[in-house]
Every structure is written in C-alpha cells, then in structure tokens.
C-alpha cells in the first residue's frame, strides 16, 4: 500500500465532494457543516490545508504554551486523580462515604456543603429550615469538620472544598480541624474554590457584595501563599457556568477572565505573581459536546499561558493551567436514567482526552437526587476502567496533529479571546458581573439551548426522542431534613454552652473591625490614595483564630455582615430568545392564541410568579421558564432569590397572580412547597394555584399532590407543555371560584 499524500490538492477535494454527493443522493454536501452554539463551523472533512498558518501545532506537552498538557508525560507516568464530590446530610454520614470511596479506589476527597453552610447560616437559623443537610453536608463549627475527616489523614489525602460565600469560616474550620488532628497548615494539600465572581453570575451562593467579596479572595490568596504552600488558594470555576447554560466558549472566556481578575486582586496586595500563581487551579464542566470539550481544555491552557505572560510571570507553574473536571450534571436525564451511565462515560473520556488533572464522574441518579452508594460505585468505576483497562493513559495528547482537533482548538481559542476582549473593554470581570451583562449572556445561551431541546432540534435520547412508554422507578437517596437539623441544633447548643463566650465575642469583634478597615481602604483607593489602612490584618487569619475558640460559621459570617451587609441580586430576565429558537415548532402559535383568548375573556393575561424558596440559588430553570412563559404571552413576575414561604406568598398576593411556580433543585421541596401552600392559605389566597418544577424524585410526587400542588414538571418536561397545563389549571381554578361565589 502506498503512503497517503501529505497534502490534498483541489482536484482531490473536488473528487471527494462528488463522492460525498453520490453517497447521499439529493443531499447538499455544503449543509453537512455543523454550526456549534458558539457559531463555530465544524466541517465533515478536514485536511492538512486546514492547518496552514495555524500556530502551536508542533509544540510538546510540558512546554509553553502547554496546549498539549501541563506535564511532559501526563498520564503515561501518573494518571489523573479520581475524586468523588459528595456531602450527605451529616458529617458522620459523609465521613463514612469518603472512607468507603477512598478504600474503593478514590484518590481524593471533594466536599459538597449544604446550602445553609454556603450562605453563612448556622443550622438553627429560621431562614434555612428546609435546607439543612439537603444537597450537601451541614457544617456549623470545627466540631463538625473534625467529624467530617475523622480517620482520614489530612497530611496524605488531598481535600477539595466547593465553598465560596462562607469561604472564610469553612476554610478556617478545616485548618483548625487539621491542627487538632496533628497536621500543620504547611502539610495540607487540596483546593478551596474561593471563586466568588461566578457566584454572582450563576450559582448565587454569595453572601456579601462583589467588592468586599473580592477582598476575601485576596486575603485567602495572601495567607495561603505564606502559610499553606501546598494548598491551592482558588479553583476558578467554569463548571457552574456551563451547568447554568453557558456554551463552551462563554464558559472558557468568563472563567479565564475571572482568573485575570483574581490575579490583579492578588497583585494589588503587593504579592509577586510567581509567589501565588502556581497555586491557582481551574474547574471545568465536561458535557456531551465531545469534540468541543476536548478543544476547550486544550485552548484553555493556551490562553492562560497568554494571559499570565501578560502579567510577566516567569515560573512555568505560574504559566501552566491545571484543572479539575466534573462530568455534567445538567446532561443527566430523569427519563430512562441508565442512559446516564453512557453519558457520563463519554464525558469522562472527553475530560481525559482534554488533559484534566483530576476528575469527578456523576452518578446516574443525580438528575433527581443525591447519588446512592450503588450509583456512586458505577461512577467511580467508570474512571478506574478508563485508567486500568483501556490503555488510553499510554499516549500523551492523542489528538495532537488531528486536522480537525487542531483547527477546532484554535477556533475555540479565538472565539473565547474575542469575548475576553469584550470584558476587558468593559473594565474587567468585576464590572461585567456588576452590570449584569455576563449573567444575561449565560441566561440567553441557556434559554436558546432549552428551546432547541423542547422543539427537538437537539436530541436527548429517552427524553425527546426514543422515549419509553413506561418508566421503571429507581432507588434514590432520601435525606431526613428534620432529623439532620435537630442533630445540628443540639451540637450547636453544646458548643455555645462549653466555650469561652467573651473570648469568642472578642475574636468576632476583631473580624468586624477588620471588615470595616477594608471599607476605609477601599475608600482611600477610590479617591486616589493607594496607601493601605494601617494594620487591618488578614481576614482568614482572624477567622482561624475565631474558629479555634469555637465560633460558628454563622457567627463569623454575621460579624462580616455587620460591616458589609448581604448582597441582593436583581431579577432581570432575557426576552425573545426562547421564542426565536422555538416558535417554528408545532403548537407554538396555537398556544399563543389560547393565551390571547384567555386575556380577552378575563380582561387580563394569565399571570404567574416564578419563585425560588430557601437558599437554593440555582436559577437556570427559573429564568428559562420565566422567559419562555413571557414569550408565550403570560405576565410573569420573578420572585427574588432566597425568599421564605411567607415572603413569597405576600408578593404573590400583592401582584395578584393566578399561579406560583416553585423552581427547586436542592431537595428542599418536601418542606418548602407545603410551606408556601400553607402561607397562601393563611393569607386568604388559597385560590392561587401552586405548581413545581425541577429536580423532584417521582417518589415524592404523591406527597406534593396531597399537599395541594396542581402540577409537577420534572427534568425533560417541554416548557410549552407545562405552560399549556398551567393555563388549564388557572382556567379550572377561576371556574371553581366562580361556582363558589354563585
């Protein structure tokens, strides 16, 4: 067999065009191009000509610009670290899970905290009754943290903690728990997420406004650079952006732009870039867009090298991007859930081909609940099989030299860089976040994606195509929220009774004073005086001192809130995006006509309020539903994040809505939904119907219907189908009211 030609000439390409046309009679070969959500054009055939003029196609792994990997040998010498991200109700339950995972092949611990902890509330706070122990572990104090890592040697096991809002008391509690285990700060390895900018865009587990939140980030980078040299001071996260609906280019651009902002924050504290930049790490989501995910991770290393070169970083560790990755939670489907094993495997392969340094694989049941031990074992074994059975690890960057992958990597880098330049023109990511621009870009992307799924332009197997006629129930993990909260409250009482209250209060007062000094410092800088407030101290250092004395997470958070207040987000939403992507689909115009007919008959349009209750800040679903309903013709009110049931009921009554739609993703529905129904009843508005959407196990449907819910719309429900049902429920409710009055 003769060698294939290195370069195809135009005659050969013409021949291919003819052969392709012949193999697909009647098809337009030019239409075989795939246009990605970012607008990138992916061709069905690439040749050497596509590499002409491209830079960085002949680089090596372990060398600048690190496109092919941060280490020279990558997995051929050391495979990626297998992590299991989890938190189960109590510290005791989570500790048992971590020990089993480590014994079964896990190589690091990744902690998921409950929403009460994220938002800086102790478990006995009245605003978090439905959140304690749901979607993560409840941590109120050092005592909880000691239980969480009991029997896990913190000088040997790397610990990753997803924490941003209450990052000071949580990281401080971890440091003190390690000290009391006999492990000094210098020996701690792992990562604290500490990425507050993305919280203002997507996840919303912030506490303080952006500016003081950035001071916390800077103080943590400073303290860890000096006292915790093996610990990663920040994990700059794109994961939650993609989960909230960002396409790969937006995730890549906004995450790197966040990273630039954190570097500038650390430099402003007088640190040398090479003293801290080597401990910055990243965190990517890896979804079902296989080629784009690999290209994204390769492009990320290239662009970070470019960014850090601009900061005059000299150390290779400062210039190379290292990352953790997690398979997508959003891509998991409630319907035909065993398909999720396949999805997670494909996503894990993309993460590995992209060159991740550690990886978490999701359980098949995580579309509806926390993973069971059964599903977590399958998820973990997915990684072990890739590591141990496939020999994928034997080759460093196997996609290098691929005509398609090299071109797609450069296209992805160019698309992301263009967005980064937009951010720079606005004055940086803090200003892009503050203005709401970045959040709206992600919400528009999410809304367009949902419309494409609902209209079947994008196929989800088992959801909008190849659906099962009947779904078999699967076992899911259920958390007894009441029992967890009672346990936490009892432990809090014991801690407060046994500590030196005066010493604790003095430590908390020192934190408040430091936060107030931060405000003075900010004022000085704003007025052109770059001098620092005298000896204001380091916020993490002061938090560690307070936690040693057994201050609680909530008390440390409150001490800072006295100086900074709590951030309140706006509730603006995109318009027209869903309709633009969906309205050619069957039934759209008919549903709009039905809503218009309702308005004519009733003298006003159907009015719904979309609400988030408790501390669940994941608002992708709520924003997408609100946009789609508005595009259909509903009047839509958006409730603010973090409402109590009473606050939500009061707003619904004041706005004279027909229905309240509760969006829930954090497992608090069995507590919070009955509370809103009861609150409406107590305020004389039980004629307002309540419907629910989000992550709700089918086993809970009967409970919710018995509580008075009129409609439940789980993952995979087309939004127009839910809108049609809500409209009918409103009609039925109005008819019943008319009969009752008669």
Across the strands, what pairs with 283? 237, 324
Report H helices in 455-500.
481-498
Across the beta sheet with 607-611, what order do the strands follow? 635-638, 607-611, 659-664, 689-694, 711-713
Nearest 5°: phi and psi at 435? -75, -15
DSSP line for 250-294: HHHHHHHHHHHHHHHHHHHTT--HHHHGGGEEEEEEE-S-HHHHH
CB-count burial class (<10 Å; 0-12, 13-18, 19+) for 60: middle
Q: With H, G, I as helix, E, B as strand and everything else as coil, classify residue 500.
A: coil
Question: What is the C-alpha separation between 501 and 499, in angstroms, rounded?
Answer: 6
Q: What is the 3-state secondary structure (H, E, C) of 99-166?
A: HHHHHCCCCEEEEEECHHHHCCCCCCCHHHCCCCCCCCECCCCHHHHHHHCCCCCCCCCEEEEECCCC
- Answer yes or no: are the C-beta atoms of 679 and 649 closer than 8 Å: yes
- Answer yes or no: are the C-beta atoms of 266 and 276 closer than 8 Å: yes
Question: What is the C-alpha separation between 380 and 84, in angstroms, rounded?
Answer: 7
Q: With H, G, I as helix, E, B as strand and everything else as coil, classify residue 71.
A: coil
- Answer yes or no: are the C-beta atoms of 242 and 198 closer than 8 Å: no
Report H helices in 527-608.
539-548, 553-564, 577-582, 588-602
By annotation, the residues acting in catalysis are: 85, 239-240, 612, 616, 618
- Answer yes or no: are the C-beta atoms of 286 and 350 closer than 8 Å: yes
Q: Are strands 689-694 and 34-35 parallel, antiparallel or unpaired?
A: unpaired
Question: What is the C-alpha separation between 553 and 19, in angstroms, rounded?
Answer: 67
């Amino acid at each position: 067999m003769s060698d294939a030609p290195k370069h195809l000439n135009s005659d050969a390409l013409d021949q291919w065009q003819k052969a392709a046309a012949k193999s697909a009679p009647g098809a337009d070969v030019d239409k075989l191009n795939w246009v990605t959500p970012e607008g990138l054009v992916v061709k069905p055939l690439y040749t050497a000509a596509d590499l002409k003029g491209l830079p960085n196609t002949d680089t090596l792994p372990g060398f600048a610009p690190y496109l092919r990997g941060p280490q020279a040998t990558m997995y051929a010498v050391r495979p990626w670290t297998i992590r299991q991200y989890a938190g189960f109700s109590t510290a005791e339950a989570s500790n048992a899970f971590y020990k089993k995972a480590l014994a079964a092949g896990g190589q690091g611990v990744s902690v998921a905290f409950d929403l009460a902890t994220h938002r800086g509330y102790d478990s006995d706070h009245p605003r978090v009754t439905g959140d304690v122990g749901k979607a993560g572990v409840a941590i109120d104090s050092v005592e909880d943290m000691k239980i969480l890592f009991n029997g896990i040697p913190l000088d040997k096991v790397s610990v990753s903690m997803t924490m941003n809002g209450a990052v000071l008391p949580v990281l401080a509690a971890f440091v003190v728990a390690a000290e009391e285990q006999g492990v000094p700060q210098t020996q701690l390895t792992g990562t604290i997420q500490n990425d507050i900018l993305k919280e203002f865009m997507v996840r919303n587990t912030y506490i303080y406004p952006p500016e003081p939140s950035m001071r916390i980030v800077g103080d943590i980078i400073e303290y860890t650079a000096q006292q915790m040299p093996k610990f990663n001071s920040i994990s700059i996260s794109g994961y939650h952006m993609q989960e909230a609906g960002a396409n790969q280019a937006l995730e890549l651009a906004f995450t790197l732009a966040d990273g630039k902002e954190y570097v500038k924050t650390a430099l402003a504290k007088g640190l040398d870039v090479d003293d801290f930049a080597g401990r910055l790490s990243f965190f990517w989501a890896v979804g079902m867009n296989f080629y784009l995910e690999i290209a994204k991770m390769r492009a990320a290393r290239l662009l970070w090298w470019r960014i850090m070169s601009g900061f005059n970083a000299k150390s290779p560790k400062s210039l190379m991007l290292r990352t953790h990755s997690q398979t997508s939670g959003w891509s998991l489907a409630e319907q035909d859930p065993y398909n999720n094993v396949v999805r997670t495997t494909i996503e894990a392969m993309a993460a590995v081909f992209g060159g991740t340094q550690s990886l978490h694989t999701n359980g098949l049941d995580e579309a509806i609940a926390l993973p069971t031990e059964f599903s977590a074992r399958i998820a973990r074994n997915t990684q072990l099989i890739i590591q141990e059975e496939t020999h994928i690890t034997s080759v460093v960057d196997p996609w290098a030299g691929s005509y398609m992958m090299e071109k797609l990597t450069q296209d992805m880098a160019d698309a992301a860089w263009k967005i980064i330049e937009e951010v720079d023109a606005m004055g940086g990511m803090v200003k892009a976040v503050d203005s709401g621009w970045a959040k709206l870009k992600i919400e528009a992307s999410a809304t367009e994606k949902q419309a494409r799924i609902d209209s079947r332009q994008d196929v989800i197997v088992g959801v909008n195509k190849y659906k099962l006629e009947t779904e078999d129930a699967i076992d899911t993990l259920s958390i007894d929220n009441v029992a967890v909260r009672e346990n936490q409250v009892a432990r809090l009482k014991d801690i407060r009774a046994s500590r030196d209250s005066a010493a604790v209060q003095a430590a908390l007062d020192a934190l408040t004073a430091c936060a107030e000094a931060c405000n003075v410092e900010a004022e000085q800088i704003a007025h052109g005086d770059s001098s620092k407030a005298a000896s204001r101290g380091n916020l993490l250092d002061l938090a560690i001192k307070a936690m040693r004395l057994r201050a609680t997470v909530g008390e440390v958070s409150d001490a800072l809130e006295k100086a900074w207040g709590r951030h309140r987000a706006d509730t603006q939403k995109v318009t027209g995006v869903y309709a633009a992507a969906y309205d050619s689909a069957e039934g759209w115009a008919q549903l709009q006509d039905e809503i218009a007919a309702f308005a004519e008959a009733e003298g006003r349009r159907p009015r719904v309020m979309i609400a988030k209750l408790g501390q669940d800040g994941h608002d992708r679903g709520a924003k997408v539903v609100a946009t789609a309903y508005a595009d259909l013709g509903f009047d839509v009110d958006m409730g603010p994040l973090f409402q109590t049931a009473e606050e939500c009921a009061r707003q619904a009554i004041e706005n004279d809505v027909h229905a309240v739609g509760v969006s829930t993703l954090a497992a608090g529905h069995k507590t919070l939904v009955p509370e809103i129904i009861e609150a409406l009843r107590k305020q004389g508005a039980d004629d307002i119907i309540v419907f629910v959407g989000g992550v709700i196990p089918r086993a809970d449907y009967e409970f919710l219907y018995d509580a008075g819910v009129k409609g439940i719309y789980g993952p995979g429900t087309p939004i127009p189908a839910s809108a049609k049902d809500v409209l009918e429920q409103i009609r039925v409710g109005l008819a019943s009211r008319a009969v009752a009055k008669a």
